[in-house]
Structure formats: C-alpha cells, structure tokens
C-alpha cells in the first residue's frame, strides 16, 4: 500500500541537500481488519506543522516513518463487531489518529491524553487506506465535504486549546502564530466570546487571513513593538488569555509580558526538545499569578470539534491540494509557507458534501 513516509531523518529546511530530511512514498503493509476495526479509503490527508518535526526525529529515528494524522475518507469495510456507533460501509468519516484504550489507569481516571497504549492504532493516514478501531472514527456531518473533513483533527486541537484557556465570555485574547492551529483557535475563541482578539504573526498574508476571520487587531512582532501594541489594545492591562500556536522559541517568552494579572497562557504547540524558557517566578507566578499550561493531544474534544466544523470557515485552509504521488512536492510547498495548509488527495473519491 502506497504510504507517504519520512525516508531520511533531517530538517526539511536544511539548505544542505545531503543532510536534508526526505519525504517519499514507500510500500507499507495494510493492517489486518480486526473484529472492531474500520477500514477507510482515504480521500484527503493534510500536512500538519508537526510533520516536519517527525522528519527531524522528534518521536524516533527509525525510517521509514509513515505520516498523516489529519484525514477524511469513506468506509470500505467493517469488522464483524464494528457496528456499535452505527457506522456503515460508504459513510464519509474522519477521526482521531489515536486510540485511547479505555483500560489503563489514565484512561480510567478520565485523562485519556496520557493513555499508556496510545500508539497501538497510530497508523499513517497519508496512504491509500487506513485501518482504525471503531472508537477512533466519526461520521462527518452532511454539510462538511471530505476536503474540509480532514481538518477535524486540527479543529479538535483548537477545541482542546479553548478548553485549557478556561475562557469566559468577554475575556481579552491574544493568539501568537497564524498557522492552521492559530487560525482555527481564533475562529473557535471568537465563537466563545473573545474580545480584543489579536493575532500576533510576522507573515502579512496570515495576519490578513486572521482579520478576515474575526481578529480585531493584528501585531507584526518583527516590525512592531509587541508590548506597546498590546498595552494600547488592552488599556495597559494585558490579555486575560494568551495562546501560543507558533512553537517559536523566539516568540514564547514575550507572551508572559502581554498577559494580564491572573491570565492563562496556553503553550499550544510543539517545542524543540532542548529548548528551555527562562521563567522569573517572582514576576510571573508570584506577582501576576499566571496559569501556564500546554496541550499534548485532544481527548474528549472530537465530538465537539465535529459540532463546530460546519460553522468554521475552512476555505482558505483547503485550497492547496496535491496528489499522493506528488507528496514530496507538497511537503516542499508546506515548508515554503506559501499556503496556510496543504492537503494530499490520497484517492479520487466523489465528494457528495456541499461545495467547498
């Protein structure tokens, strides 16, 4: 089965071609269909900002590493017991790339994100088919196309980020990083009653995209003084909620200074293993009583992500589409930052949803 994979570990941005990480198409076996499993013919699989980190060996260095955890498709086979959620052959679906086992202690304590068997069904979705446990699979609403449906997983991350902000209607909110997670978080927090909603982003196109989707202010952290702008926007009080969706070591520390007293700062991205941020405990935790938190994966967020998916404007996140065979080029385009999101068309499936 043709599957997109990391075939050589290294940064996809390395100017030295001989050291650069490599993405290619390899042949991987199709897993057996267990009694509770669902086989999905994949329609679209989106490239995630975390995929280049996998190429750098963040989660291991044994190649090939199959990629793809943001996908949509159509069910083509069901195990004999995989009917408990009413799934049928032909259903248009998306899902959670992680299967939470339900049996380990963290699962029993309501903390599925720490499931000790989380990798068992984590399979590559940039492939012709994917075989998941039925608990991972969600039927898409009729009004969501397959092309939009592959964004269920990143939407679940935005929902989880919103959960962790513990936002109240009227809170002042700043989001740092206008990539897909930042843009989706912006739309979700807007729905939630965010005010003074500000996108901090150095790339002009991404700032403009944020303005088209509900941002009231944008800050260019390179050309402008972020602190001065934030003070002007918030009357010198700072933001009640600050979300980092940039993962940029250069950006993260300044976010503590634009946070209001008592604010929550959610570091909602992936960060380099060896990066440590200095933290003045007296200033930020004693005097300002900040709450600092992060997001690993998004348990309990998928059913709600499915509810908000039809309400989001996903057009600009679904415009760039490449065929599976052109995956190498698709990753090069992703790395170039020319499009906010790049999708792979893994099979040519008639999309019966509404026009995208």
Strands, E, within the chain: which ranges? 2-8, 22-27, 37-46, 65-66, 71-78, 92-95, 129-133, 137-139, 172-176, 195-200, 217-219, 239-244, 259-267, 291-294, 320-323, 342-345
Cis ω for the linkage preceding 64 (within 30 of 0): yes
Name the minimum Å distance from CB 110 to Zn ion: 11
Nearer to Zn ion, 154 or 238 (CB): 154
Q: Are 1 and 127 in contact (CB under 8 A)?
A: yes
Retrieve residue 33's tokens: 């269909």
Binding of residue 107 to Zn ion (CB under 5 A): yes
Structure tokens at 245: 């969706």
Choice between 77 and 104, CB closer to Zn ion: 104
Identify the residue among 48, 93, 152, 342 touching Zn ion (CB under 5 A).
48
Based on the shown chain and the rule CB under 5 A, indicate whether residue 104 belongs to the binding site for Zn ion: yes
Q: Is residue 101 at the binding interface for Zn ion, with CB under 5 A as the rule?
A: yes
Which stretch, 44-52, 158-166, 256-264, 311-319, contacts Zn ion (CB under 5 A)?
A: 44-52
Please choose, out of 110-118, 286-294, 301-309, 314-322, the segment that lies near Zn ion by the rule CB under 5 A.
Answer: 110-118
Task: Judge contact between 100 and 115, C-beta under 8 A.
Answer: yes
Q: What distance in Å separates the CA atoms of residue 84 and residue 320, rounded to the nearest whole number?
A: 36
How many residues bind Zn ion (CB under 5 A)? The answer is 5
Query: Measured from the CB atom, is 178 or 238 closer to Zn ion?
Result: 178
Q: Which residue stretch of 8-16, 98-106, 137-145, 195-203 sits at the interface with Zn ion (rule: CB under 5 A)?
A: 98-106
181 binds Zn ion (CB under 5 A): no
Task: Read off the tokens for 61.
Answer: 């260095």
Interface residues with Zn ion (CB under 5 A) are 48, 101, 104, 107, 115
């Amino acid at each position: 089965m043709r599957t997109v994979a990391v075939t050589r570990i290294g940064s996809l941005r390395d100017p030295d071609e001989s050291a650069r990480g490599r993405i290619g198409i390899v042949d991987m076996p199709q897993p057996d269909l267990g009694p509770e499993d669902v086989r999905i013919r994949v329609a679209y699989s989106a490239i995630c900002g975390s995929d280049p980190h996998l190429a750098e060996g963040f989660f291991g260095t044994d190649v090939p590493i199959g990629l793809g955890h943001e996908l949509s498709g159509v069910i083509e086979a069901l195990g004999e017991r995989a009917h408990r959620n009413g799934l049928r052959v032909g259903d248009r679906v998306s899902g959670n790339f992680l299967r939470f086992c339900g049996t380990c202690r963290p699962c029993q304590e309501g903390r599925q994100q720490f499931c000790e068997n989380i990798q068992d069904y984590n399979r590559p979705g940039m492939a012709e088919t994917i075989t998941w446990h039925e608990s991972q699979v969600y039927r898409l609403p009729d009004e969501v196309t397959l092309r939009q449906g592959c964004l269920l997983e990143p939407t679940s991350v935005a929902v989880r980020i919103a959960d962790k902000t513990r936002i109240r209607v009227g809170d002042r909110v700043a989001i740092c990083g206008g990539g897909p997670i930042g843009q989706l978080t912006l739309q979700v927090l807007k729905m939630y009653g965010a005010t003074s909603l500000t996108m901090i982003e150095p790339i002009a196109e991404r700032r403009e995209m944020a303005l088209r989707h509900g941002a009231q202010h944008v800050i260019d952290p390179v050309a402008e003084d972020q602190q001065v702008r934030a003070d002007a926007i918030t009357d010198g009080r700072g933001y009640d909620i600050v979300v980092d969706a940039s993962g940029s070591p250069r950006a993260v520390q300044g976010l503590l200074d634009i946070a209001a007293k008592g604010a929550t700062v959610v570091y909602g991205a992936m960060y380099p293993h060896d990066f440590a941020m200095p933290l003045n405990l007296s200033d930020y935790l004693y005097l300002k009583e900040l709450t600092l938190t992060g997001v690993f994966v998004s348990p309990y967020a998928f059913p709600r992500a499915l509810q908000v998916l039809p309400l989001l404007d996903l057009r600009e996140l679904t415009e760039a589409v490449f065929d599976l065979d052109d995956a190498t080029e698709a990753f090069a385009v992703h790395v170039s930052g020319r499009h906010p999101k790049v999708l792979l068309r893994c099979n040519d499936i008639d999309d019966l949803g509404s026009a995208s």
